Structure 1
Amino acid sequence: MSTLIFRTIAPYLSALMVLFSVFVLLRGHNEPGGGFIGGLIAASALAIYGIAYGVDVVRRALWVDPNALAGFGLFMAAVDGLSAILAGKPLLTGLWFVPVIFGVEIPLSTVLVFDVGVYFVVVGSLASIALALEESD
């Protein structure tokens, strides 16, 4: 399905979906959403872009192999879960840091690192599946 209208709107729709997926990712540790839902939205954006332009264009746009992205996300989530043990807390306990940057307190947490890891796992694994299915056609 590579109509002119679809190929014209696909880059804008994909960019908007990726931007929304990052919003859902960052909002997720305080409200519903997070790494999994954000990753699903981003993987859907890559699938739409792949349907419009082909697998090779999506692979060039990703910069890294989707399987490597999923592996890195799994490593991030695992290391984040173990960081609580190093702090003397139970596994996967959220730790908060509030650094002051340019006079502004910015609350950071290990929960966000875990969510980013889940995001990478979902995007990498689903992009790998979608690209493999699109290559088989």
Structure 2
Amino acid sequence: MDSVILKTAIRFLMPLILLSSVFLFLRGHNEPGGGFVGGLMASGAIALYAITHSAAAARQVVRVPHRILIGSGLLMSLCSGLLPLLLGRPFLTGMWTTITTTGFGKIHLGTPLLFDLGVFCVVTGVTLVFVFSLLEE
């Protein structure tokens, strides 16, 4: 597409959409959001970039091949489920740890965050496969 207005708008909107994707991803534990919605928002931002520029240019923006994105997401989700099994707990049991940092204070990390990150990667990778294959036809 050769619209200067749309290309300029996407240049400003893409970082905002990606930032809102990260926001939805991080707040997904206690409120609506999570890996699925965040992954859809991220792939939507890249799809808009691909529509205005080209699929090849959007692939360069992503920098990670979609197969690696999908595979690593599946592996992260699997590891978040298997980690409790190694410690004698049921599959997909939430396990938490606290990390103290100087800038952010105490940060609570757990296996649900790892699972959501895996879902984020899988949803983004699969959606980008659909978008790129439709744009390249």
Shorter-chain TM-score range = over 0.9
Structure 2 match to 1:117 = 118
Distance 2:2 2:72 in 1: 33
Contact 1:74/1:118 (CA < 8 Å) preserved in 2?
yes
One-letter amino acid matched to 1:115? D
Number of the residue aligned with 1:32: 32
Matches within 5 A, 1:34-113: 34-102=34-102, 104-113=105-114
User: What CA distance in whole angstroms lies between the structure 2 residues aligned with 1:126 and 1:70?
Assistant: 10
Letter of the aligned partner of 2:115 in structure 1? F
2:107 corresponds to which letter in structure 1?
I
After TM superposition, give the deviation of residue 116 of structure 1 in Å: 0.5
- CA shift, 1:33, in A, is 0.8
Moved over 3 A (4+): none
Aligned letter for 1:100?
T
Amino acid at match of 2:67: N
RMSD: 1.2
Quote the residue 2:136 is aligned against. 135
Percent identity among equivalent residues? 43
CA–CA distance in 2 between the matches of 1:5 and 1:102?
44
CA distance in 2, matches of 1:45, 1:105: 32
The structural deviation recorded for 1:128 is 1.1
Gaps of 5+ in 1: none
Q: CA deviation at 1:40?
A: 0.5
Tell me the matched-pair count: 136
Give the alignment's TM-score, normalised by structure 2.
Answer: 0.94
Which 5+ residue runs of structure 2 have no aligned equivalent? none
Task: Tell me if structure 2 keeps the 8 A contact 1:84–1:91.
Answer: yes
- Following TM superposition, by how much is the alpha carbon of 1:89 offset from its aligned partner in structure 2, in angstroms? 1.1
Q: Which moved more, 1:98-107 or 1:61-70?
A: 98-107
TM-score (norm 1): 0.94
Is the CA contact 1:40–1:122 (under 8 Å) kept in the aligned structure 2? yes
SS in 2 for 1:106: strand
User: 1:2–1:51: 8 Å Cα contact kept in structure 2?
Assistant: no
Deviation per CA, 1:51-90: give whole Å up to 9, x if none. Answer: 0000111011111111210111011001111111112111
In structure 1, how many angstroms separate the alpha carbons of the residues matched to 2:64 and 2:109?
27
